[in-house]
């Protein structure tokens, strides 16, 4: 097999060696989620590592559920994980057949393997309670204590295990344990549990089983039974590898190679299933797909494309050292992607009314470029009327030095329109601005006419007659601290990560947006010129568009001001 052109990292180097040495003659990877939560961006990295290695070596990728714990698992999570994986991989090609595999489909075979180990004297039924077992397990410095069940005769173990399966014992009454080494320095090898009695409904097996395999017993068997060649996983499984090896070697069955890499962490968020549950159930977010969540469902709803997430994970790379990526690195990928793809529109988030005193026509349609990065996106017409709105932030009645946007007596360019001068500020009795009276220069029409005038700022605006009122949801980091568990880089003395929640992570405003967005569909993305990127949220109803701010623009003023002077 030729692998020329395959990029290099320690995983790919190992895979390449395995192919060259003949240890494997093909490559098969898998992503093995437990269907007990939604996927997050760390999982995206794991999926992309698995998928990428399979793809680079002309192999195959599988999505395989490690569905051994019916108490925590749910069909909702299975469906969401499959959907998110399709979204992330976008075009699986011939690397992934798009199907999901389920570890639970091997329960019968796992049971037979367990019987085999019992017959070999390598597994026994143990009557200890979970607490007793924990106490007997020892610690890093103290070896475990073997229990008396350890020496049960094989015949008794076979009989008891059969009765466990047949439902003769109460939940938790006994377990099947591997007989390895109670003094092993690796605690995972101190006679780990292989089966527990648990009467629970399984999302695929229904009530067929009342004993369920432990994760550690099932995981390696699933990889083996499926013909996985390279079991890629995160570093916390390094200490479990000797156990997976022990099971496979004792059974004498096909043996994949496990390679570990570091987990992906991201600043200003948390990446733990338990915390996701707390955030959702505590009402701190609106659901697993809240646009502030680092779940793939949340990122999707926020308006991040899978291409941006793939690029972010590519930049993160694979290594064995701790990895914390900054939120801005993710946002940069999102901006770069949207800059290429998103059509531009004008929208005003904090409107001030402007009356253009020298306009008398009802409406003038001005041509606007949809996407300067993509000529194929074409042009549209935006309506200009005597009354328009501009953003409050683009006007100062009393401008500070070097303020280039609108102020009494100064000129700005209206994007796609004319140079406009502010002649008078009209106040309400309460002292707030009622409206601005302005004049345009009819000789200055167009995006960038070479009229030789030095206009320092171009501002966005919308027609007061044609603009559509929408809800704009403005999102910011969910947590104030880069590491919510360690504010200021130190372990918390009191409280929890929840104390670091950003009280301003979601605000909602009434925005006025140009009419071209009126037929926008859920998921459509736009750049609101000079403000940021927005996408249409599924909460949108006919006549009531809801936009999510995906990400703000960087260097807003610098860029636009440079352009309008070019």
Question: Active-site residues: which are they?
Answer: 34, 263, 273
Nearer to ligand ATP, 38 or 416 (CB): 38
Nearer to ligand ATP, 45 or 302 (CB): 45
Asked if residue 436 binds ligand ATP (CB under 6 A), the reply is: no
Asked if residue 460 binds ligand ATP (CB under 6 A), the reply is: no
CA distance 352 to 512: 11
**Applying CB under 6 A, which of residues 234, 339, 444, 502 lies at the interface with ligand ATP?**
234
Asked if residue 294 binds ligand ATP (CB under 6 A), the reply is: no
Nearest residue by C-beta to ligand ATP? 42
3-state secondary structure at position 182 = coil
Nearer to ligand ATP, 158 or 187 (CB): 187
Q: How far is the CB of 28 from ligand ATP (least distance, A)?
A: 15
**Applying CB under 6 A, which of residues 101, 147, 271, 425 lies at the interface with ligand ATP?**
271
**Applying CB under 6 A, which of residues 259, 264, 368, 420 lies at the interface with ligand ATP?**
264
Number of residues forming the site for ligand ATP (CB under 6 A): 13
3-state secondary structure at position 426 = strand
Q: How far is the CB of 49 from ligand ATP (least distance, A)?
A: 8
**Applying CB under 6 A, which of residues 11, 15, 19, 46 lies at the interface with ligand ATP?**
46
DSSP string for residues in 101-155: EEGGGGHHHHHHHHHHHHHTT-EEEE---HHHHHHHT--SSS-----GGGG--HH
Q: How far is the CB of 46 from ligand ATP (least distance, A)?
A: 4
Asked if residue 45 binds ligand ATP (CB under 6 A), the reply is: yes
Q: Tell me which stretch binds ligand ATP (CB under 6 A): 32-40, 182-190, 429-437, 480-488.
A: 32-40
Among 255, 275, 277, residue whose Cα is nearest residue 265: 275
**Applying CB under 6 A, which of residues 15, 18, 33, 251 lies at the interface with ligand ATP?**
33
**Applying CB under 6 A, which of residues 12, 19, 29, 34 lies at the interface with ligand ATP?**
34
Q: Tell me which stretch binds ligand ATP (CB under 6 A): 43-51, 86-94, 122-130, 200-208.
A: 43-51
Q: Tell me which stretch binds ligand ATP (CB under 6 A): 18-26, 41-49, 300-308, 482-490.
A: 41-49
CA distances to 56, 207, 558 from 10, rounded to whole Å, are 14, 44, 42
Backbone angles phi, psi at 548, to 5 degrees: -100, 135
Beta strands 343-345 and 525-528 are: parallel
Nearer to ligand ATP, 34 or 537 (CB): 34
DSSP string for residues in 221-246: HHHHHHT-SEEEEEGGGGGGHHHHHH
Nearer to ligand ATP, 46 or 88 (CB): 46
Asked if residue 394 binds ligand ATP (CB under 6 A), the reply is: no
Beta strands 351-356 and 387-391 are: antiparallel
Backbone angles phi, psi at 365, to 5 degrees: -95, 125
Token duo for residue 421: 């001068």
Asked if residue 263 binds ligand ATP (CB under 6 A), the reply is: yes
Give the DSSP H/E element, type plus range, for residue 220.
helix 215-226
Among 349, 335, 317, 400, residue whose Cα is nearest residue 45: 317
Q: Which residues pair with 468 in a beta bridge?
A: 513
CA distance 375 to 81: 37
Q: Tell me which stretch binds ligand ATP (CB under 6 A): 40-48, 128-136, 250-258, 412-420.
A: 40-48
Nearer to ligand ATP, 44 or 462 (CB): 44
CA distances to 345, 460, 521 from 348, rounded to whole Å, are 10, 8, 20
3-state secondary structure at position 72 = coil
Q: Tell me which stretch binds ligand ATP (CB under 6 A): 189-197, 216-224, 263-271, 308-316.
A: 263-271
Token duo for residue 411: 């000129």
**CA atoms lying within 13 Å on the CB side of residue 496:** 5
Nearer to ligand ATP, 261 or 526 (CB): 261
Q: Residues in the site for ligand ATP, rule: CB under 6 A?
A: 32-34, 42-43, 45-46, 233-234, 263-264, 271, 273
């Amino acid at each position: 097999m030729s692998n020329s052109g395959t990029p290099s990292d320690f995983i790919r180097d190992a895979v390449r060696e395995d192919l060259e040495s003949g240890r494997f003659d093909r490559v098969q990877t898998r992503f093995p989620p437990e269907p007990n939560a939604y996927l997050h961006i760390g999982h995206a990295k794991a999926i992309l590592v698995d998928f990428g290695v399979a793809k680079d070596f002309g192999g195959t990728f599988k999505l395989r559920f490690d569905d051994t714990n019916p108490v925590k698992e749910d069909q909702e999570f299975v469906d969401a994980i499959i959907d998110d994986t399709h979204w992330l991989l976008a075009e699986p090609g011939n690397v992934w057949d798009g199907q999901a595999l389920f570890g639970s489909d091997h329960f019968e075979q796992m049971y037979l393997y367990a019987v085999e180990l019992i017959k070999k004297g390598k597994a026994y039924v143990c009557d200890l309670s979970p607490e007793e077992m924990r106490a007997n397990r020892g610690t890093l410095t103290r070896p475990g204590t073997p229990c008396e069940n350890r020496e049960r005769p094989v015949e008794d173990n076979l009989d008891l295990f059969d009765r466990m399966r047949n439902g003769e014992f109460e939940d938790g009454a006994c377990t099947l344990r591997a007989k390895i080494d109670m003094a092993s320095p690796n605690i995972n090898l101190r006679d780990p549990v292989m089966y527990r009695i648990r009467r629970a409904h399984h999302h695929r097996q229904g009530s067929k089983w009342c004993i369920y395999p432990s994760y550690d017993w099932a995981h390696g068997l699933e990889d083996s039974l499926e013909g996985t060649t390279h079991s890629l996983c995160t570093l916390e499984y390094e200490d479990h590898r000797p156990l997976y090896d022990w099971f496979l070697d004792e059974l004498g069955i096909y043996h994949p190679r496990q390679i570990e890499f570091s987990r992906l962490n991201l600043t200003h968020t948390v990446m733990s299933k338990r915390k996701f549950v707390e955030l959702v159930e505590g009402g701190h977010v609106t659901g697993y797909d809240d646009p502030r969540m680092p779940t793939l469902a949340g990122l999707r709803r926020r308006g991040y494309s899978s291409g941006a997430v793939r690029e972010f994970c590519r930049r993160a790379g694979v290594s064995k050292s701790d990895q914390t990526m900054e939120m801005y690195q993710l946002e940069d990928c999102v901006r770069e992607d949207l800059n290429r793809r998103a059509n531009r529109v004008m929208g005003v988030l904090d409107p001030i009314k402007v009356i253009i005193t020298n306009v008398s026509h009802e409406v003038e349609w001005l041509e606007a470029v949809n996407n300067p990065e993509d000529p194929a996106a074409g042009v549209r017409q935006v309506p200009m009327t005597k009354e328009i709105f501009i953003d409050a932030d683009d006007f100062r009645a009393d401008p500070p030095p070097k303020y280039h946007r609108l102020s009494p007596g100064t000129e700005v360019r209206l994007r796609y329109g004319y140079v406009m001068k502010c002649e008078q500020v009209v106040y309400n009795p309460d002292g707030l601005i009622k409206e601005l009276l302005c004049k345009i220069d009819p000789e200055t029409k167009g995006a960038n006419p070479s009229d030789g005038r030095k206009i320092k700022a171009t501002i966005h605006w919308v027609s007061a007659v044609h603009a559509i009122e929408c809800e704009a949801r403005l999102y910011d980091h969910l947590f104030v601290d880069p590491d919510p568990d360690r504010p200021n880089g130190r372990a918390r003395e009191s409280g929890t990560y929840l104390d670091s929640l950003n009280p301003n992570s979601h605000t909602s405003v009434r925005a006025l947006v140009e009419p071209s967005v009126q037929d926008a569909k859920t998921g459509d993305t736009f750049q609101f010129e000079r403000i940021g990127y927005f996408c249409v949220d599924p909460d949108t109803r006919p006549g009531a568009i809801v936009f999510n701010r995906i990400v703000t623009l960087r260097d807003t003023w610098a860029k636009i001001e440079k352009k309008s002077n070019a």
